[in-house]
Structure 1
């Protein structure tokens, strides 16, 4: 799919980030949204054959709202500057997220600031077999694509129940277990962009499987 129509819409929306402009251009918005949903549907079908446990996520179910939540973020503009969607969106599992923005697109996945019970399960898994997670993170192709774990909230000391000299203390201190990689918006115009998404999804899959096993076992 060529995302130029979506990018052009987003650029104009950011120049006119208000309900009046959106109402006037509602037909255009529905056009680019439906095109995006159609692409999500096709990728959902392709990704489903890569994992026996893939959770079917049609485009209408995976796509995020373009409105910002002004109740919790009153200082944000009315509308976002990107189209976002999730694949393999089984509730309460590590996610896989795609974001198409004006300046870049993002692939991300994992657990973002999970609730204490879930976070404890991940830490217990690391305590039991953290070597397996470290092996995934250290894989050359994984590091080349994602680098390190996403730098978010992180403890300065050991979490409760774990010693400061634990062999996996650096992993245990994380509150978010996620990774991401970015591409320029121009790269989304390439004919092989769909293959890039599949490449990223496949590379991230062992990481997400480790987390899902930790929180479901």
Structure 2
């Protein structure tokens, strides 16, 4: 489970997002980060039984993203994120692309997966796969448990216009216009600090797994 102390650290950090406070509370940060790394290690042990694409050698430390923000080109100059982000690639060890993503943040934790905002070459391949095999994708996203957890997949951000490779009358245009291909489910503070948190998140990932398989096949 994620300890309440870890959430408390993030809550205090959000209210004191400056270098002086962070350095004075570095020990609290280290303990919270170790808690998250341990949690991810337990999660990986279960997920590998669900998704064989997750490498056996994947280090949970490398899944936990840096808390330091890149502020070079941002108006918001606060130096730290107010959450722990966890990226678990569905294949290989490089974060980004087809993955499972966990955000740990007081009042705003969630588990998600799929492919968020693919770059043009990958987006083209995914659209081609949808054009050829949309029925396979619809079978995944229209499944009752998928909808219950993640809602309507088609309600993600879409292009305002039709992709130039396709016709507006294409029967799958609602899917072809999508900019991202993800499902996400909010997790309450009570849930993520509960004894069953790891299994609950793993169960949600098992519902994302078929989507990740579809996307990886598109990119193969």
Q: 1:203 aligns with which of 197, 204, 207?
A: 207
Q: Report if the CA contact (8 A) 2:97-2:116 is conserved.
A: no
Equivalenced residues, count: 216
Deviations 1:116-153 (A, max 9, x none): 11000000001101011011110000000001227554
SS at match of 1:49: helix
Question: Residue 182 of structure 1: CA displacement?
Answer: 0.2
**2: CA distance, partners of 1:147 / 1:9:** 31
Shift of 1:3: 2.1
CA contact (8 A) 2:2 2:39 kept: no
- C-alpha distance 18-150 of structure 1, shift in aligned 2 (>3 A): farther
Q: Does structure 1 conserve the Cα–Cα contact (< 8 Å) formed by 2:130 and 2:176?
A: yes
Match of 1:70 in 2: 71
Aligned ranges 1:1-150 → 2 under 5 Å: 1-56=1-56, 57-88=58-89, 90=92, 91=94, 93-149=97-153
CA RMSD of aligned residues (A): 1.6
Alpha-carbon shift at residue 74 of structure 1 (Å): 3.0
- The 1-side partners of 2:46 and 2:66 are apart by 24
TM-score (norm 1): 0.93
Task: Verify the 8 A CA contact 1:44 1:58 in the aligned structure 2.
Answer: no
Task: Compare 29-38 and 88-97 and name the one that shifted more.
Answer: 88-97
Kept after mapping to 2: 8 A contact 1:150/1:179: no
Deviations 1:1-51 (A, max 9, x none): 242111011111122110001111112211111121122112112211222
Quote the residue 1:165 is aligned against. 169
Q: 1:174 aligns with which of 150, 174, 178?
A: 178
Alpha carbons 1:150, 1:178 under 8 Å: kept:
no
Q: How much does 1:61 deviate?
A: 0.6
Q: Deviation of residue 72 (structure 1)? A: 3.0
In 1, Cα distance between equivalents of 2:102 and 2:195: 18
Structure 1 unaligned residues grouped into runs of 5+: none
Report SS of the residue matched to 2:186.
Answer: strand
